[in-house]
Amino acid sequence: MNKDVKVIKVKNLCKKFGDFTANNNLSFEVSKGEIFGFLGANGAGKTTAIKILCGLSYPTSGEISVAGFDVYKQREQLKRNIGYMSQKFSLYEDLTVFENIRFYGGIYGLSKEVIHRKADDLLKKLDLQHARNKRISSLPLGWKQKLAFSVAIFHDPEIVFLDEPTGGVDPVTRRQFWDLIYEASREGITIFVTTHYMDEAEYCDRVSIMVDGKIEALDTPAKLKEDFNAVDMDQVFLALARTATNVE
């Protein structure tokens, strides 16, 4: 991690849907290569913020730059330099593993040779060579998730945004998934991840905890536990969640 280079800079981000404030004055920075956990209960506003950082929707106000690009004016460049794994599973079930890789590589403008070479490496790494020509629909969920993550970083983005990437996956697969995240982080990719699992929060370099659209805590897991006098992140989270008003 390089603490001097800030790849995400957010200052006073606000997002309103009518009268409802989904993101209330968020400010934070994320360093290059950092694994940044973005926590919050259901409806806290995590997905809303991620969509703004990815250039999928405009903020109501605030200064935001991602990978050095302004979210208002430089969306094109911004999009080239990020990867995104949405809360919904996002590979095409009716295409094969390789067809999915080729398609996503293709829309990021990678050449045929590069796609083939990287796809081979990737399948070897995930131990999925045998499934290369199998439809996604025939794979178990854990494999799909790992593949979806690998596809999201296939074009070597600077930052990858993961919105609850491990939802519904068993603990063993989650562990393997985090191995992939660590590996990507070692290669210098910044990870911005939301999760509901508090054990996963422990794996992050720093976490922010959002309650009702506001960031109520932001630090390393160790520091947060100390501050809240808690044995684990679960307790930290519960302490903060108690202050929430619009719990679903």
Ligand X SMILES: Nc1ncnc2c1ncn2[C@@H]1O[C@H](COP(=O)(O)OP(=O)(O)OP(=O)(O)O)[C@@H](O)[C@H]1O
Please, which of residues 65-94 interact with Mg ion by CB under 5 A? 87
The single residue among 1, 95, 126, 180 that binds other proteins, judged by CB under 8 A, is 95
Q: Indicate which of Mg ion, ligand X, other proteins, none lies near residue 40 (CB less than 5 to 8 Å, by partner kind).
A: ligand X
List, as one string, the DSSP characters of the chain: -EEEEEEEEEEEEEEEETTEEEEEEEEEEEEET-EEEEEE-TTSSHHHHHHHHTTSS--SEEEEEETTEETTT-HHHHHHTEEEE-SS--S-TTSBHHHHHHHHHHHTT--HHHHHHHHHHHHHHHT-GGGTTSBGGGS-HHHHHHHHHHHHTTT--SEEEEESTTTT--HHHHHHHHHHHHHHHHTT-EEEEEES-HHHHTTSSEEEEEETTEEEEEE-HHHHHHHTT-SSHHHHHHHHHTT-S---
Among 33, 37, 45, 105, the residue binding ligand X under the rule CB under 6 A is 45
Pick the closer one to Mg ion by CB: 190 or 194: 194
Query: Is residue 165 near ligand X by the rule CB under 6 A?
Result: no
Judged by CB under 8 A, the stretch of 88-96, 126-134, 187-195, 216-224 that binds other proteins is 88-96
**Minimum CB–partner distance for residue 212 and other proteins (Å):** 22
> Is the Cβ of residue 33 or residue 45 nearer to Mg ion in the bound state?
45
Q: Does 166 bind Mg ion (CB under 5 A)?
A: no
Which residues of this chain interact with ligand X, rule CB under 6 A?
A: 17, 20, 22, 40, 42-48, 87
Which residues of this chain interact with other proteins, rule CB under 8 A?
A: 51, 54-58, 76, 79-80, 82, 84, 86-95, 99, 102-104, 106-109, 112
